[in-house]
Amino acid sequence: MESLNENQDVLQKESNILDAKLERRSFLQYAGAGAAIVALTAAGCKKDRVVNTDFGVTLDFKDDFGVLNYAYALEQLEAAFYIQVAAAPPSGFSAAEKQYFQDIQFHEIAHREFFKNALGTAAIGNLSVDFSSINFTDRSSVLNAAMAFEDLGVGAYNGAGVRLKNTTYLLAAGKIVSVEARHAAYVRDLISNGTFATAPQVTASNGLDMALTPDVVLGAAGKYIKTKINVINL
């Protein structure tokens, strides 16, 4: 781990230079803590750094790949969150809740891996997450984070669908978003029974769920993601 940390320090300095370059290109930037943290795949033994996200990742919305990578990024985030919850659930979780959060964990892993395989070589790298704002030992903190992720996911898919040109991928996104909505309703009911589809998430007057644009979604997700996400051609 020490060498890993050293590598990250070096890379942080490097990334500052890169940041400046990216700004001049007028990329829209969504950064978590501002530093581009690197996913080191070969954890800390080789002197060769395996770097795949030191530039951050770029979501290019010019075509379907950008939209799919956007979904892939969100699924990476959700999967990472639920993996952590399922590995050590809050003591306040009931047996049923532990079971369902484990189920959800595997749903999100399935979604993440689906996008990874569907994208193939066009897939973005692994994102580094920052869950420092979540208290994983506290039921309420975990549930509220889960609700935020699920509602955000629903809004993201609802808003992104119209961007997809390939109907196979549109359908795949549709198959996923309703599962996210089922998760969202479940988590909301755990927080307060009966809030599965209440305002402001669902507008009472027209019965519509949120549809969010990528900039809004990534802005909200930013605090959970260390990797810089550049968005172009939005």
Partner 1 sequence: MNIVNILEEIEKVDGEIYERLNPRRAAMKEFFNMGKKITLAAMPLALGSVFQKAYGQSTPAAVTDVLNFALALEYLEYHFYNHALVAAPTLTIPAGAATAAITLIRDHENAHVNLLKGALGAAARPEITYAMTDFTAGGTFADVYSNYGTFLAVAQGFEDTGVRAYKGQAGVLAGNAVLTTALQIHSVEARHASHIRQMRTALAGGAAIYKPWVSLGAAGQANDSGVPQVDAVYAGEDLTTQAGVNITGINGNAGVTKAVAVESFDEPLDKASVVVIANLFLKTGFKL
User: Which is nearer to partner 1, 18 or 216 (by Cβ)?
Assistant: 216
User: Which is nearer to partner 1, 21 or 165 (by Cβ)?
Assistant: 165
Which residue(s) pair with 58 in the sheet?
230
Q: What does the block give as tokens for 194?
A: 């009966």
d(Cα 188, Cα 198) in Å, to the nearest integer?
Answer: 9
User: Which is nearer to partner 1, 116 or 223 (by Cβ)?
Assistant: 116
Binding site for partner 1 (CB under 8 A): 100, 103, 105-111, 113-114, 116-118, 154, 157-159, 161-162, 164-165, 167-172, 174-186, 189, 193-194, 196-198, 202-213
Contact, 75 vs 111, CB < 8 A?
A: yes
User: Which is nearer to partner 1, 40 or 164 (by Cβ)?
Assistant: 164
User: Which is nearer to partner 1, 51 or 179 (by Cβ)?
Assistant: 179
User: Which is nearer to partner 1, 73 or 177 (by Cβ)?
Assistant: 177
The least CB distance from residue 139 to partner 1, in Å, is 18
Buried b (16+ CB within 10 A) or exposed e, 40-74: beeeeeeeebebebbbbbbbbbeebbbbbbbbbbb
